[in-house]
Structure 1
Amino acid sequence: MNIPLEKQLTKWLKQQKKSCGFFLNLTVTFGVLTGLSLLVQAYLIASIIHGIVILELPTQALNHHFIGLLCLIPVRAALAFARERSSFEAGKRLRLQIRQQVLDKLCELGPAYIKGKPAGSWATIVLEQIEDLHDFYARYLPQMLLAGFIPLTILIAVFPLNWAAGLILLTTAPLIPIFMILVGKGAADANRKNFKVLTQLSGHFMDRLKGLKTLKLFNQGETELKNIESASESFRSGTMAVLRLAFLSSAVLEFFAAISIAVLAVYFGFSFLEELNFGHYGESITLFIGVFVLMLAPEFYQPLRDMGTHYHAKAQAIGAAEALKELLDYEVPHQQQNSTTPSQSVQTNQALTLQAADLCVYSLDGSLLVGPISFTVEQNQNVALVGPSGSGKTSLLNALLGFLPYQGSLLVNGVELSSIDKPQWRKNLAWLGQDPQLFYGTVRENITMGDTTLTDETIKAHLQQVAIWDFIEQKTLGLAHPIGEQMSGLSVGQAQRIALARALTKNAQLFLLDEPTASLDQDSERVIFSTIQDATQDMTSLMISHRLDQLQHMHNIIVMDQGKIVQQGDFDTLNKAPGLFNDMQQDMSHLDNTISMNSQAEI
């Protein structure tokens, strides 16, 4: 990883530490108290040994030292527990805050952005990469402060007793952080690459898992198994590279610490043998000084070694932060702001009208998807959007939902859409797509979506309206009937009807439908179309549909091709006039006849 990017990501990580609250400072405070208790413990032990061995004092004369030492043991244990507990709480609060920011950002960007990556890669970002930030805040940041404070405190205690011992500690201490930084840079780069491989592997595996039936149908199971094996091997290699760096750095840090302590022990050993006579301040080195300093030596290097160990938490966090920062800093380009009041509202007690003039819809990377187009949707008017794949129909709906930027004019009841408060605007909308989205939970929970004002009678009425109540009523638990992961236990048609019932509970003023019958059989198609027609009689609706023969009751049909409007009018007018709609109608009739003939032949 290049140095400017690493500094930028480190700065971003430190900016987030305010989410940890006071628990981060509390962790440092407990660490400082632990360090001070180490000094007291070393003093008491050195005094006891010096008193018994050199001064030949009776043990009774050292009772207060023994009592102090016994009292210090539970105090140190309590401080260590409090430090771990507060550090965990700091990391937990940070993870909750970052995860909330990510989810809010994804809600703001919407499906147009989310569909740009596989579902597995988003799961990696939301779950694993955020979890990998924990140790950076819970351990690395507090340890950075402790790695400076505790060794400095020990030096202050050692130098007045023996300047040579203090000089040995001072000169050998930088070896640990220097090597830590050298190895850490490679670890950060390895972690970043490994996260990218993990994201790709997660997305690859999730996509193949969803399409498992299709892969088996086309006899591609073995091929995809080899692809997954190759991707897994790539991730294994990356993980082992990170672990090699971690083990190497830990071993070297332990080596330097052991060598430094050994040098100190040799110095005191030769001093006690009177082979060395320097480092003291006029008086010979006592056993108290030797024991006190040697007991503090491991504790002097321990914070530095801990920082070296936790430096990998920083490397891991930097690797995770790259994708998180990119997502959280992402801004939608090309969004127009025509109004001087950026947060207007739309009345919810009246039907909506839409007026588009020279409207251009853009992708999130700034590419033109639709336009320029102009059209009007009047109050209580049901309008259909038709056209070949890629003509811009879904992009237009995403712009209306506020998920894609646009230029030009798009008025809702005379108010520019870009100036309307998005959450308030979406309360006026009901949306139904071709892939119903039901969640793990009960039928009631999937319909209410947390709205406690909806009664069971209201839910039942909407389920009857979409002709699914008979199926629910047959279940033992009724509205409490569980829906499994990936809508297990339901057919696509049943799931679509429940999703439609959920949309109807919103009492919205604008109904947006994106191929709501694309995955249904003909019988279910007719039921859903009839239900939609009845439900949208007193509201404005805009529907994308591939079933042109079901559009006779639409007030207006907008035909799109290559991002432009090529035809407009009611069903009869467009069906009689030459053009794209008539061509699509003939192609559809030919396709239906072919399917019918093939079905009869099979029978």
Structure 2
Amino acid sequence: MDKSLEKQLAGWLRLQKGACGPYLKLSMMLGIANGVALVVQAWLLATMLQGLIIDNLPRQQFVPHFIAFAALILLRGALAWGREKVGFVAGRRLRGTLRAAVLDKLSRLGPAWVNGKPAGAWASIVLEQVEDLQDFYGRYLPQMALAGFIPLIILGCTFPLNWAAGLILLTTAPLIPLFMILVGMGAADANRKHFTALQQLSGHFMDRLKALPTLKLFYRAAAEERAIAKASEDFRERTMAVLRLAFLSSAVLEFFAAVSIAVVAVYFGFSYLGELNFGHYGVPISLFTGMFVLIMAPEFYQPLRDLGAHYHAKAQAIGAAESLMALLEAPEPLSQGNEMLSASLVSIEARDLQVLSMDGQSLVGPLSFTLQAGEKLALVGPSGAGKSSLLNALLGFLPYTGSLKVNGVELQQLAPTSWRQRLAWLGQNPQLFHGSIADNVRFGRPELDDAAIWALLEQAKIADFVRSQPEGLAHRVQEFSGGLSVGQAQRIALARALARNAELYLLDEPSASLDSQNEQWVLDALWQAMQHCSCLMVTHRLDQLDRMDRVLVLDHGQLVQEGRFAELAQQPGLLATMLAQLPLALSLDDVAGGAQA
């Protein structure tokens, strides 16, 4: 990974620590308190050994020392438990805050942006990658503070007793973080590749799982099984590479810590044998000094060793932060304006409007048109003409340039909530959620009672089906509208749209994939609901255009025709060409004649 990028990601991670609240600092304070208790414990033990072995003092004199020593053991255990508990709470708060931020960001970015990645990739970001930040905030950041404070406390106690031992500790201490950095240089890059492979595997597996019936029908199940096996093997290799770095880092740290402690022990051993006579300020070296320093020597390196053990948590967090930072800092298609819409029917005015993709590519336009209050406007054109992109821009899911005004106010200046509360949207692929039929209908309108829901179901011509179910309104809708036909799902989605009491209906092929009976029910309910509302409908069903006030014809992102259907049907142009290609059951004259009638 590029060093500048790694530094940027590490800085971004530190900016998020405010979400941990006071628990992060409390974890550090508990760790420092544990270190101070350790120094006192070592002093008590060294004092008792000096008095009992060298000074031959009575054991009763050290009873208070022993009681204090035992109490410190219990206190240190409680402090260690408290530090782990508080560190976990800090990480949990951070994860909750970050997950909420990710979900809010995805809702603001909208489906046009979210569809750029498979659902499994988003699941990996929201679940695994956020989860992998736990140890960074719960352990690594507090341990960084302890790795600085506790060795300083121990050095402050060691130098007054023996400057040589203090110098050995001070000289050898940098070896551990130095080799920790050297060994861990590739850890962040390995973790980043690991998360990339995890996203790919998650997205690949979920997409294939959803398409399993189609794969079986076309005899592609075996080929996709081999592809999933290959992706799984790639993920396994990357996971083992990360683990290999973690184990190597721990082994190197343990080796250099053991060597450093051995140097301190050798110094005191030769000093007691009389071979070394320096470091003790001219005073005979005592058992107390040697025992105190030797007891403290492992604890001097322990915070650095723990930091090294948690270093993979930093590398793991940096690998996870790349996708999270890119998501949370992605530009939003609809800025968070604060102007509210006036209480009147919705009108739209577009001038030199150009709809862009999330990466800045032009999808539609420039084009200019108007939708008057209460007017019904149809968008037609061949596939890929930009009709759905225009709807996504109106919904605030795609960025645009030029002017797009709603009731005279630029869309970018409107509060998104105020704007979307005035809308009802119905697409060709209804999205129902796992839950009861009542929950799906009152989605966004929790105040609706059962009587209001039944009225909406009657209007959508789906009440008879709901009554036929043993649980009625409590009938459960499975994932991906499981247990319902396409027509039933579309009519439940229609009831949900009708519950909005909207002033503008945005319809994207609402009758696509429906049989003639379901299509007639859906359209009749829509026309009845839209009598006093504005409507912009995308449709390929040219035989439905006689009900619309005006028609906009798009081709390759450009507005090529505009006017009343009866007029455009008789003029040379794209609409007449499309009408000529209708099935033989409907001729151009039939459609145009029906429009005039």
TM exceeding 0.5: yes
1:448 aligns with 2:448: no
Q: How many residues align?
A: 587
1:271 aligns to what? Answer: 271
How big is the shift at 1:237?
A: 1.0
Whichever residue aligns with residue 141 of structure 1, its letter is: L
How many Å separate the matches in 2 of 1:114 and 1:58? Answer: 77
How big is the shift at 1:590?
A: 5.1
Which residue of 336, 356, 360 maps to 1:366?
Answer: 360
1:344 aligns to what? Answer: 339
SS at match of 1:260: helix
How big is the shift at 1:580?
A: 1.9
Of the structure 1 ranges 519-528 and 151-160, higher mean CA displacement relative to structure 2 is found in: 519-528
Alignment of 1:458-473 (within 5 A): 458-473=452-467
How many Å separate the matches in 2 of 1:520 and 1:39? Answer: 78
How big is the shift at 1:4?
A: 1.0
Contact in 2 for aligned 1:336/1:407 (Cα 8 Å):
no
2:291 aligns to what? Answer: 291
Percent of aligned pairs with the same amino acid: 59
Whichever residue aligns with residue 256 of structure 1, its letter is: F
1:598 aligns to what? Answer: none
- In structure 1, runs of 5+ residues without a counterpart are 594-603
How many Å separate the matches in 1 of 2:466 and 2:182? Answer: 64
How big is the shift at 1:411?
A: 2.2
Contact in 1 for aligned 2:445/2:499 (Cα 8 Å):
no
2:593 aligns to what? Answer: none
Whichever residue aligns with residue 562 of structure 1, its letter is: H
How many Å separate the matches in 1 of 2:167 and 2:542? Answer: 88
How big is the shift at 1:575?
A: 3.2
How many Å separate the matches in 2 of 1:213 and 1:303? Answer: 55
- In the TM superposition, what whole-angstrom CA distance separates every residue of 1:513-572 from its partner, at most 9, and x where no partner exists? 112222323322222122211121121111111222233312222211111122233343
How many Å separate the matches in 1 of 2:463 and 2:520? Answer: 17
Cα separation, partners in 2 of 1:77 and 1:450, compared to 1, 3 Å: farther
How big is the shift at 1:195?
A: 1.2
Alignment of 1:219-368 (within 5 A): 219-332=219-332, 343-348=338-343, 350-368=344-362
2:36 aligns to what? Answer: 36
How many Å separate the matches in 1 of 2:542 and 2:111? Answer: 26
1:415 aligns with 2:409: yes
Which residue of 494, 500, 514 maps to 2:494?
Answer: 500
Contact in 1 for aligned 2:423/2:505 (Cα 8 Å):
yes
Of the structure 1 ranges 567-576 and 426-435, higher mean CA displacement relative to structure 2 is found in: 567-576
Whichever residue aligns with residue 85 of structure 1, its letter is: K
Question: What's the TM-score once normalised by structure 1's chain length?
Answer: 0.94
* Runs of 4+ residues deviating >4 angstroms: 590-593
1:599 aligns to what? Answer: none
How many Å separate the matches in 1 of 2:110 and 2:5? Answer: 28
Whichever residue aligns with residue 205 of structure 1, its letter is: F
How big is the shift at 1:222?
A: 1.0
How big is the shift at 1:493?
A: 2.0
How many Å separate the matches in 2 of 1:301 and 1:92? Answer: 29
How big is the shift at 1:336?
A: 10
Alignment of 1:389-428 (within 5 A): 389-428=383-422
Contact in 2 for aligned 1:113/1:364 (Cα 8 Å):
yes
How big is the shift at 1:363?
A: 1.6
1:209 aligns to what? Answer: 209
SS at match of 2:546: coil
User: Once superposed, what is the RMSD of the aligned Cα atoms?
Assistant: 1.9
How many Å separate the matches in 2 of 1:590 and 1:203? Answer: 43
Contact in 1 for aligned 2:136/2:317 (Cα 8 Å):
yes
How many Å separate the matches in 2 of 1:151 and 1:590? Answer: 88
How many Å separate the matches in 2 of 1:202 and 1:464? Answer: 41
1:596 aligns to what? Answer: none
How many Å separate the matches in 1 of 2:335 and 2:268? Answer: 76
Of the structure 1 ranges 550-559 and 292-301, higher mean CA displacement relative to structure 2 is found in: 550-559
Alignment of 1:4-83 (within 5 A): 4-83=4-83
Whichever residue aligns with residue 305 of structure 1, its letter is: R
Contact in 1 for aligned 2:112/2:397 (Cα 8 Å):
yes
How many Å separate the matches in 1 of 2:185 and 2:531? Answer: 64
How big is the shift at 1:252?
A: 0.8
How big is the shift at 1:591?
A: 9.8
Alignment of 1:168-183 (within 5 A): 168-183=168-183
Contact in 2 for aligned 1:105/1:328 (Cα 8 Å):
yes
Whichever residue aligns with residue 283 of structure 2, its letter is: E
How big is the shift at 1:84?
A: 1.1
Cα separation, partners in 2 of 1:123 and 1:460, compared to 1, 3 Å: same
How many Å separate the matches in 2 of 1:103 and 1:477? Answer: 32
How big is the shift at 1:300?
A: 0.8
Contact in 2 for aligned 1:557/1:570 (Cα 8 Å):
yes
SS at match of 2:547: coil
How many Å separate the matches in 1 of 2:581 and 2:223? Answer: 36
Cα separation, partners in 2 of 1:490 and 1:323, compared to 1, 3 Å: same
How many Å separate the matches in 2 of 1:578 and 1:213? Answer: 44
2:595 aligns to what? Answer: none
Question: What's the TM-score once normalised by structure 2's chain length?
Answer: 0.95
1:586 aligns to what? Answer: 580
SS at match of 1:502: helix
How many Å separate the matches in 1 of 2:49 and 2:432? Answer: 72
- In the TM superposition, what whole-angstrom CA distance separates every residue of 1:376-422 from its partner, at most 9, and x where no partner exists? 22222222211111101011101111122222222222222222112
1:530 aligns to what? Answer: 524
Of the structure 1 ranges 521-530 and 423-432, higher mean CA displacement relative to structure 2 is found in: 521-530
Which residue of 533, 548, 555 maps to 2:549?
Answer: 555
Contact in 2 for aligned 1:434/1:519 (Cα 8 Å):
yes
Contact in 2 for aligned 1:529/1:550 (Cα 8 Å):
no
SS at match of 1:516: coil
Contact in 1 for aligned 2:165/2:279 (Cα 8 Å):
yes
- In the TM superposition, what whole-angstrom CA distance separates every residue of 1:192-212 from its partner, at most 9, and x where no partner exists? 111112112211112111111
How big is the shift at 1:242?
A: 0.7
Contact in 1 for aligned 2:108/2:332 (Cα 8 Å):
no
Of the structure 1 ranges 355-364 and 535-544, higher mean CA displacement relative to structure 2 is found in: 355-364
How many Å separate the matches in 2 of 1:203 and 1:561? Answer: 33
How many Å separate the matches in 2 of 1:372 and 1:336? Answer: 21
